[in-house]
Amino acid sequence: MAKTPGKNTSGRGQRDLFVKVKTARGRKTSSTRWLQRQLNDPYVKRAQMEGYRGRAAFKIMELDDKYRFLVPGARVVDLGCAPGGWCQVAVPRVNALGEKKGKKIGTVLGVDLQEVEPLAGAEIHQLDFLSEFADDKVKEWLGGEADVVMSDMAASSSGHKQTDHLRIITLCEHAAYFAFDVLAPGGTFVAKVLAGGAEGELMKTLKSKFKTVANIKPPSSRSDSSEKFVVALGFKGRDGEHRDEEE
């Protein structure tokens, strides 16, 4: 459960001091910049105060506040769920713990290549979603089809902007095709992409499979990042494209 933010007892009022980090011997300048940015990031501080596992939790909050796909009773799959921040947000919103009396009880299923610390209200499995029959396993664990498939995955950075763009678009495409296999009609797909020019084919495919497709950069996404999110609503079903052609 998220912690309640404590009172400010620092004596500095509401304004925090900027933390400057010196480059230590043996540490790269880029690492120093990353550390300095983390220490001064208001979303990192807020995540720590409220008990979330990372600042990314606020991205899915903002996306859901706008599009309302994490509803009580929803069955949610979080691909590449480590460290678990998106699952943390999903659990209370879909009522996975049954704390909202009179509301449907949802399911939150997280999968990742690495072990993830257990989280109350979420079922987490160590699984490569690209492996054979992974979609069947997920539907078995869910007890049926998913209402939401979401992904905050990013490929390891190579340091080359265009290469990194192509890698994350490929990863997003894999996530999308996995979603096509496990989503129930009317379902939602949410995934992180990087702007860079190669996402056109992905968007074309999503628009053929969903009623509504939007690109959005939530407020908590860093302004200097090319990251954005695709939100695809109203899955037409696995034969949706064929039906459209016949109509």
Predicted pLDDT of residue 96: 98
Please give the average per-residue pLDDT across 26-55, as a whole number: 65
Task: Say if residue 112 carries a ligand binding annotation.
Answer: yes
CA distance 77 to 16: 37
Task: Say if residue 147 carries a ligand binding annotation.
Answer: no
Task: Say if residue 86 carries a ligand binding annotation.
Answer: yes
Name the average pLDDT for the chain. 83
Radius of gyration of the chain (CA): 19
How many other CB atoms sit within 10 Å of the CB of residue 92? 18
Report the greatest alpha carbon distance in the chain. 68
Lowest mean pLDDT among 8-17, 25-34, 48-57, 71-80: 8-17
Please give the average per-residue pLDDT across 227-232, as a whole number: 94
The model carries a pTM of: 0.79
Predicted pLDDT of residue 221: 85
Phi and psi based region of residue 87 (left: phi greater than 0; alpha: psi -120 to 50; beta: remaining):
alpha
Strand partners, 194: 227
Predicted pLDDT of residue 162: 74
Task: Say if residue 128 carries a ligand binding annotation.
Answer: yes
Residue 192: active-site member? yes
What confidence tens digit (pLDDT) does each residue in 83-119 have?
999 999 999 999 999 999 999 999 999 999 999 999 9
What confidence tens digit (pLDDT) does each residue in 182-229 have?
999 999 999 998 776 667 889 999 999 999 999 999 998 877 777 899
Q: Which of 192, 204, 211, 236 is catalytic?
A: 192
2 close to 52: Cβ distance less than 8 angstroms: yes
Strand partners, 108: 76, 122
Predicted pLDDT of residue 41: 64
- Domains in the chain (CATH in brackets) are 21-51 (no CATH), 54-246 (3.40.50.150)
**Burial group, residue 127, by CB count within 10 angstroms (0-12, 13-18, 19+):** middle
Strand partners, 75: 107
- Is the CA virtual torsion 181, 185, 187, 190 positive or negative? positive
